[in-house]
Each structure stands twice: as C-alpha cells, then as structure tokens.
A = this chain, B = another copy of it.
Amino acid sequence: MISLAMPRPSAPKSESTRALILASALAAFRERGFERVTMREVAASAGVALGAAYYYFDSKDALVTAFYEQAQAEILPALDRTLAQSRSLEQRIRAIIQHKLDYFAPNRRLMAALSSHIDPQNPLSPFSADTSRIREQDIACFARAVSDSGVKLPPSTLPYLPRLLWLYQMGLMLFWVYDRSPNQQLTTLLFDKTLRMILITLKLASLPIMRPLHRHAGDLLHAIYDADPNANFDQAPL
C-alpha cells in the first residue's frame, strides 16, 4: 500500500484557481464572443499567468468542455425532478430539451465553439469517447422519458429510440446555435413542429403499412449502433 493518498476526491487546494479561470473565461466569452477572446486575456482577467491557464485547461476549447460538464451536472437533477412528475412522452421530451435551451441561452454564442468539433476522434466532440459519460447520462434521460410512456414500436427499433431522440436534440441545438431570428423564434417553431410530427409518427408506426419501414430501420440501426467494435475501424486522425 503506497499511501492513503485519496482522502478528498478533489482537494480544495487550488480548485478555486481553476474555478476562477473558468469563470473569468465564461464571462469574457459571453461578453465578447469565444473567437475574439484570447487565452492571454482569460489569464489576465483571472489574474494569473498564461501558463497557469494552460495548466488547468489543455486548450482554449477545453474551457468549453469544462463548461459543458459543469452544465450537465447542474441540469441533471432538475431533469430528474421533471421526469418524476411522470407526464406524457411529449411533455417529457419537451421539458428535457426546453430546460437545456433555457439553461444554455445566456451562453448561446459559446455553444458555437462546441459545435465545430464533429469528428468523433476529437476529444471535444459530443460524439467522442472522452465525452461518453455526459452523452450516456443524457441518453439515459431520454430512456426514462420513453419508459412506461406506452410507446409502441417493434423490438427491432424500440431500443434505439432514446439514442435517436438524443440525436434529434443535438440537431435541434445545432440549429439553435446559429439561429439569428429574433429571440431564436425559428428554433421554437422547429422544435414545436418537429416534436409534434415525431409523436404523430410514433403513433402511426404501429400500422401494418409501416412494416417495410421498420425492417429497413431495424437493419440500419443495428449496423450503426451495434457494430462489432473490433471490426478494423480506421483509427487514423483523418
């Protein structure tokens, strides 16, 4: 036994410095936009040297990831409460996504930085292995929203519904980030209309005429999500 060296998971030693740097950065980003803010300014406004900022955050983008993680931690409990009030699937999904839009609204411009990394090999990507914890938590929310909601889907597609809803959320937020309409009203409309259409489609899905669609969807989803991870996928950085 080397030592009992993990009594406090995150020693408050200088956790405060980290928090200070992050807070300064977010304030600057909100005020002047992510692109225009330099790491030098972040460090200066936090009262530390440039190297200190890089000691706590590997890159400028890492600040965004930290914000994203912090946000997730703050949002989850609220979603738990909302889901507990067991309402309809539509109301549950609406509540989940709307809560996130509201939460992120003050930092909407900052989210643009997040959305520029789509490559799953990029650690900052919402699809990367590094962000899988956040992603899984998020998908779990949709899984709870689906459970005991009475959705009727064949077993070949039902298991993928939470992941598809998560993907829907990501697409919606991507639109929102770049939505310049007054008060992002286009996003509101897109959200409302597409969600209604999804719910209608889920109801129609049990009709016999939809059978061929299910077959194709099931095949595709299985191949994409349950692909053998040992298949020789290319690990080169593009």
Contact = CB atoms under 8 A, between A and B. Distances in A.
Interface of A: 33, 35, 109, 112, 115-121, 174, 178, 180-182, 186, 189-190, 193-194, 196-197, 200-201, 204, 207, 209-210, 212-213, 216-217, 219-220, 223-224, 227, 231-238
Given A109-B238, A193-B220, A227 B118 contact: no
Nearest to A232: B182
Nearest to A197: B216
Closest 5 CB pairs of A and B: A193-B220, A180-B234, A109-B238, A180-B233, A193-B216
Given A193-B220, A197-B216, A216-B196, A181 B118 contact: no
Nearest to A181: B233
B235 A180 contact: yes
A224 to B, nearest CB: 6
A233 B109 CA distance: 15
Given A112-B238, A115-B118, A190-B220, A227 B196 contact: no
A224 B172 CA distance: 14
A231 B186 CA distance: 12
